[in-house]
Amino acid sequence: MAFKTLTTAAILMSLGLASGVAANEPHGSTAPACAQDGRAEAGGYRLDAKLTRNANAWLLTPQTNIQFAPEQYGGAAVPGTGHIHLYLNGTLIGPITHAGPVSLPLLDREAYVVKLALTTSDHNEANFGVCREVRIAAPVING
């Protein structure tokens, strides 16, 4: 099973532990608030995620009923299609443009917040109005 791995550098940037831009996006990179700790459903669209941990990473598998449309990424909004914005501690670290798992390397931090937001191809999260936030704990990595 193939999965996308987000680089440790991008994640460290999102945590403020390294300088630079975490995501190369043509829009704001700060997460808007998730209403009431995250709406998992709105307007017929739903979003959830399965989190599992292995020795080196958290595997995040989005579960949604939108149609992923990587070929339309950055284009005009098409109802029911798009991608997911992935935020770590409030900073956009990248898009999820497929249904498979995404690997988040374990970090030297006690806990962090992952936010997922359904997003149309034009990066407008309000078109779906669905987001999900979860706090996860990571073991301290020594060495």
| DSSP β-bridge partners for residue 58 | 53, 104
* Sequence spans of domains, the chain: 8-15+34-47+63-96+107-137
Regions of the chain short of the pLDDT cut 50: 1-3, 5-26, 36-38, 143
> Do the Cβ atoms of 48 and 57 come closer than 8 Å?
no
pLDDT by residue (tens digit) across 64-97?
Answer: 999 999 999 999 999 999 999 999 888 898 899 9
pTM for the model stands at: 0.72
Q: Which residues contact 26 (CB under 8 A, 6 or more apart)?
A: 74, 123
Q: What percent of the chain has pLDDT over 70?
A: 64
Rounded distance between C-alpha atoms, residue 19 and residue 106, angstroms: 19
